[in-house]
Amino acid sequence: MRYRSPGKNKFAGWFLFIIVSVFIFSFQVQFNQALASDESVVSSGHSKDDIKRGERFFKGLLPFERTGESCVSCHTLTQSDTLNWNPSAMDIAMKYAGKDFAGFQAAVMQPSGVKMTASHTGFNLGEEDLKTVKVYLDNLAQTGTNPAKPSFNNLILFLFLGVLLTWALIELIFIRKIKWKIVPVIIFLGAFGWQAKMISTDAIRLGRQQNYAPDQPVKFSHKVHVGDNGIDCKYCHTTVEQGKSAGIPASNLCMNCHVIIREGTNSGKFEIAKVVNAVDSGKPIEWVRIHNLPEHVFFSHAVHVGSGKIDCATCHGPVETMDIV
């Protein structure tokens, strides 16, 4: 009878424990997400069937005889790399969250403004069906949209590769059950190499944001303001000649024009209303920063623009042609 040492049994037990722990962790993460999705407007007296029915109307799956565009064709649920002038589904959900149905119904069925009136021409949805759309949007405001790529997937993959790497080491050093030693060697090198790639990729991304174009709280277009309306860069970026940063204009500066102009050709009233609300409430717009310099780099706009007289387009390109910079 072949004798197996207690040490080998111990390592085999630890290996089994690690595998089970990874799968339990994966299940727990998915369970928590499912549990979080249940914390919705169901507690406000609406059923999950109401939410699901409203979602189907919003996405154009109902009614079956629908001939026009669906809500989601304009009011998207996912981020796009191009500027969609229409408010996103989340924008609408947040605006009307906690408000009564009458206001929402009036905005949809009796819209004001040239652009929205033209967009909603021929739109016809019964009151009860529109109520389910409002319920769906209220639920969306609480739960948020589902991420396209759940962040825990990479973590689970990293842990799984760690399990494979650990097993390969234990097999090579202690257990030595596999006849072909090249098998654990290949598994070890593959798992180690893939983990190293994941670590290096994320490390390289720190502070580097090439092609990074996040959704901003207000859909602002340099093409409209600089290209179409001929506004000089320095009118908005007032500290570009004296400061390290070019500066982000305060909402009050926007109101120099938008105290009169309350509807955009592309965006209608929705986006400009955000600026007006920011001024009225005294709460500044929280723009999302795009460029982060490495810690070892010092850059001053005052030196380059104020002293060096370098034109903005030299570094930033033809912003007058860009909706998204």
Token readout for 149 is 């790529």
| 3-class secondary-structure state, position 308 | coil
Q: Is the pLDDT of residue 45 over 90?
A: no
> Above 60 in pLDDT, residue 4?
no
- Residue 97's SS3 state is coil
pLDDT, position 12? 57
121 lies in the same domain as 157: no
DSSP 33-91: HHHHHHSSGGGGT--HHHHHHHHHHHTT-SSTT--S--GGGTS-SS--SS---SPPHHH
**Residue 45 domain-assigned (yes or no):** yes
pLDDT of residue 1: 46
Closest CA to 239 of 301, 166, 188: 301
Bridge partner residues of 264 (DSSP) = 268
Same domain, yes or no, for 82 and 231?
no
Residue 313: per-residue pLDDT: 94
- Pair (56, 125) in one structural domain: yes
- Count structural domains, the chain: 3
* Spatial separation of the C-alpha atoms in residues 275 and 290, rounded to whole Å: 20
pLDDT tens-digit profile of 83-136?
899 999 999 999 999 899 999 999 999 998 899 999 898 888 899 999 999 999
Higher-confidence position of 70 and 31:
70
- In-domain check, residue 1: no
Note whether residue 213 is domain-resident.
no
Considering the domain architecture, whether residues 28 and 154 belong to the same structural domain is answered as yes
Query: Residues 126, 268: one domain?
Result: no
Give yes or no: residues 73 and 45 share one domain: yes
8 vs 108, residue with greater confidence: 108
- Report which of residues 226 and 31 the model is more confident about: 226
Find the mean pLDDT for residues 28-42.
Answer: 56
Can you give the pLDDT at residue 211?
A: 73
| pLDDT band, very low/low/confident/very high, at 215 (cuts 50, 70, 90) | confident
- Residue 227 within a domain: yes
Tell me, yes or no, whether 178 and 249 share the same domain.
Answer: no
Contact 258, 267 (CB under 8 A): no
- Residue 252 included in any domain: yes
Contact predicate 275/251, CB 8 Å? yes
Question: Both 18 and 58 in a single domain?
Answer: no
Closest CA to 299 of 249, 234, 237, 243: 243
Do 52 and 127 have their domain in common?
yes
Going by C-beta distance under 8 Å and a sequence separation of 6 or more, which residues neighbour residue 237?
246, 247, 248, 249
Among the three residues 93, 110, 143, which one is the final residue of a domain in this structure?
A: 143
- 207 versus 174: which is more confidently predicted? 174
Report long-range pairs for 164-172 (Cβ below 8 Å, ≥24 apart).
Answer: 164/188, 164/190, 164/191, 165/191, 165/192, 165/195, 166/15, 166/18, 167/15, 170/11, 170/12, 170/15
Domain that holds residue 18: 6-32+150-205
- pLDDT band, residue 40 (cuts 50/70/90): low
Confidence (pLDDT) at 39:
52
CA distance linking residue 140 with residue 159, whole number of Å: 32
Task: Say what the pTM is.
Answer: 0.70
> What single string gives the DSSP state of each residue in 226-239?
IIIT---HHHH-TT
Query: 297 versus 313: which is more confidently predicted?
Result: 313
Helix then strand then coil, in percent of the chain rounded to 5, is: 55, 0, 40
The pLDDT, as a whole number, for residue 42 is 56
Burial of 110 (0-12, 13-18, 19+ CB in 10 A): exposed
Which of 126, 143, 160 terminates a domain? The answer is 143
In a domain, 214, yes or no: no
pLDDT digits (tens, 9 = 90+) for 242-271: 999 999 999 999 999 999 999 999 999 999
Angle, vertex CA 259, rays to CA 257 and CA 263, nearest 5: 80
Does residue 77 fall inside a structural domain? Answer: yes
Distance CA 16, CA 66 (A): 55
Same domain (yes/no): 87, 50: yes
Look at residue 201 in the predicted model and tell me its pLDDT.
82
Asked if the model's pLDDT at residue 43 lies above 90, the reply is no
Q: Does residue 59 sit in the same domain as residue 137?
A: yes
Residue 300 lies in a domain: yes
Q: Which two tokens stand for residue 37?
A: 């999705």
Looking at residue 312, its pLDDT comes to 94
Taking only the tens place, the pLDDT of each residue in 138-171 is 999 998 887 655 456 788 888 899 888 888 888 8
* Residue where one domain finishes, among candidates 92, 113, 143: 143
18 and 67 in a single domain? The answer is no
The pLDDT value given to residue 65: 82
